[in-house]
């Protein structure tokens, strides 16, 4: 039985004091449950957030990392720096990283490998643009994003990867894929992995991301192949995130 994951990607939001305040609200109101709860604050607030959540079941995760182990990469953060402060999971391949910071499939393959080699779990994001959906090339596109990132890795590494399908047209726009549309692609993705390794495919947690909120989450999360959500905007508000 796959566990559901509800993960908040805070992106470039919340100062240190706002981070503390939001975590306090989550800790006060979240009841322990079978759901894995993750939050991804900005790098500067990660260490404090890890400490603040140490007595809760909230996992603090990173939004990104660099693929090199260390060195002259001004402004970047390495995997072992994350591990050292108690972070165990990192988001890789978010569409905003691909679009605004030039992260190609080749770079994301290196990042994924570096994260796994350093013992981090990866939440790997991928998804098509609107034009790919309109030309009905969306499955081809997401399959190639996944192939390029993982197929050089031993499939045993896939146990440490959570997938996050985020159709770009749905991110921050208020327009989600319908639950049926999202279920269809999650189903196809699982079948795609099953053609390589049935066991891994059945255990793979595939999250949906893109305008998930307190109103539409129930229908999306009720789909058999949607194993959780990666939530942007609605994760910045304690009441909304708790409802999800």
| Residues in contact with ligand 13P by the rule CB under 6 A | 9, 94, 166, 171-172, 209-212, 230-234
Shortest CB 167 distance to ligand 13P, Å: 10
Which listed residue (36, 59, 66, 94) is catalytic? 94
Q: How far apart are CA 212 and CA 102, in angstroms?
A: 26
Shortest CB 170 distance to ligand 13P, Å: 6
Shortest CB 230 distance to ligand 13P, Å: 4
Buried b or exposed e, range 45-55, using 16+ CB within 10 angstroms: bbbbbbebbee
Buried b or exposed e, range 165-178, using 16+ CB within 10 angstroms: bbbbbbbeeeebbe
| Of residues 55 and 233, the one with the C-beta less far from ligand 13P | 233
What's the DSSP call for residue 210? Answer: S
| Of residues 41 and 209, the one with the C-beta less far from ligand 13P | 209
Q: How far, CA to CA in Å, does 96 sit from each of 43, 192, 221?
A: 16, 25, 24
175 tagged catalytic: no
| Of residues 201 and 214, the one with the C-beta less far from ligand 13P | 214
166 tagged catalytic: yes
Active-site residues: which are they? 94, 166
């Amino acid at each position: 039985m796959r566990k559901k994951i509800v993960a908040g990607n805070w992106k470039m939001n919340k100062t240190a004091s706002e981070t503390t305040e939001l975590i306090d609200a989550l800790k006060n109101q979240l009841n322990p449950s079978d759901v894995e709860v993750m939050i991804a604050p900005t790098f500067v607030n990660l260490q404090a957030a890890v400490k603040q959540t140490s007595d809760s079941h909230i996992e603090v995760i990173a939004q990104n990392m660099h693929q090199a182990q260390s060195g002259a990469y001004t402004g970047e953060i390495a995997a072992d720096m994350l591990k050292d402060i108690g972070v165990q999971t990192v988001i890789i391949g978010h569409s905003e990283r691909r679009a605004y910071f030039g992260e190609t499939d080749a770079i994301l393959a290196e990042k994924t490998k570096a994260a796994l080699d350093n013992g981090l779990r990866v939440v790997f994001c991928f998804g098509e643009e609107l034009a790919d959906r309109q030309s009905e090339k969306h499955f081809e596109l997401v399959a190639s994003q996944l192939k390029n990132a993982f197929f050089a890795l031993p499939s045993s590494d896939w146990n440490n990867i959570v997938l996050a399908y985020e159709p770009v047209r749905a991110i921050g726009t208020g327009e989600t894929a319908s639950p049926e549309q999202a279920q269809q692609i999650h189903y196809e993705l699982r079948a795609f992995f099953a053609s390589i390794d049935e066991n891994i495919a059945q255990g793979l947690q595939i999250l949906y991301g893109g305008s998930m909120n307190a109103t539409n989450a129930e229908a999306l999360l009720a789909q058999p192949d949607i194993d959780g959500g990666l939530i942007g905007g609605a994760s910045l508000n304690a009441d909304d995130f708790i409802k999800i």
